[in-house]
């Protein structure tokens, strides 16, 4: 009889311990773990993924260089990042825009700035190997954001007039027949 009561007591205690463990696991808040890694857009070193939420969301920072002075290559800050998806998965991707506040939150972190510095220096070495690398701190507050003046498009970058292109095609077709 005493043995039976001990067994029942042990079963109850064990059940309560298991239930308490399950409840505590359910109520634990997922901590935000920041993860930073290069995420290429078109060329190596031209993008940086910053995972700022536990579900893999974050920002995809577009990295650009300023080589307006041929002797110096420095960062050109684009404060409108893309929204990062699946940052904790095997195939992260970006789409749309994330708020500038998330850009500012990301660049205010030392680990993000250190990675930005490494990636931008490598990007400068690819784009302007003879230029001297010059690090410029990113804007850390909304009041420090300035409009980005991008270089003007050159004539070869512009689209051809569709009517002219059609005439060229027709002329080539007549020559080949």
pLDDT score recorded for residue 28: 47
Q: What is the tens place of the pLDDT at every residue in 26-37?
A: 554 545 579 999
Q: Residue range 128-132: average pLDDT?
A: 95
Q: Residue range 65-70: average pLDDT?
A: 92
Gap between the Cα atoms of 136 and 64, Å rounded = 12
What backbone phi and psi angles, to 5 degrees, belong to 96? Answer: 70, -165
Q: How confident is the model at residue 146 (pLDDT cuts 50, 70, 90)?
A: confident
Token pair of 147 as six digits: 């409009």
3 state DSSP class of 122: helix
Q: Residue range 17-32: average pLDDT?
A: 59
Token pair of 135 as six digits: 């690090």
pLDDT score recorded for residue 162: 83
Gap between the Cα atoms of 169 and 78, Å rounded = 39
Report the DSSP pairing between strands 72-76 and 132-133: parallel
Instruction: For helices 100-107 and 110-127, give the axis angle rounded to 10 degrees.
Output: 100
Q: Residue range 56-83: average pLDDT?
A: 94
Gap between the Cα atoms of 135 and 137, Å rounded = 7
pLDDT score recorded for residue 23: 66
Q: How confident is the model at residue 15 (pLDDT cuts 50, 70, 90)?
A: confident
């Amino acid at each position: 009889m005493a043995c039976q009561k001990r067994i029942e007591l042990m079963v109850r205690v064990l059940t309560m311990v298991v239930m308490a463990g399950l409840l505590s696991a359910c109520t634990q808040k997922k901590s935000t773990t920041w993860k930073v890694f290069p995420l290429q857009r078109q060329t190596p070193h031209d993008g940086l993924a910053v995972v700022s939420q536990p579900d893999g969301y974050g920002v995809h920072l577009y990295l650009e260089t300023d080589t307006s002075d041929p002797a110096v290559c420095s960062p050109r800050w684009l404060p409108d990042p893309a929204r990062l998806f699946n940052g904790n998965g095997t195939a992260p991707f970006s789409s749309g825009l994330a708020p500038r506040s998330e850009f500012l939150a990301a660049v205010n972190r030392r680990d993000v700035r250190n990675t930005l510095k490494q990636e931008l220096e490598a990007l400068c070495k690819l784009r302007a190997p003879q230029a001297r690398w010059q690090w410029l701190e990113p804007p850390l507050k909304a009041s420090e954001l300035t409009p980005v003046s991008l270089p003007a498009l050159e004539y070869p970058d512009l689209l051809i007039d569709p009517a002219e292109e059609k005439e060229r095609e027709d002329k080539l077709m007549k020559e080949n027949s």
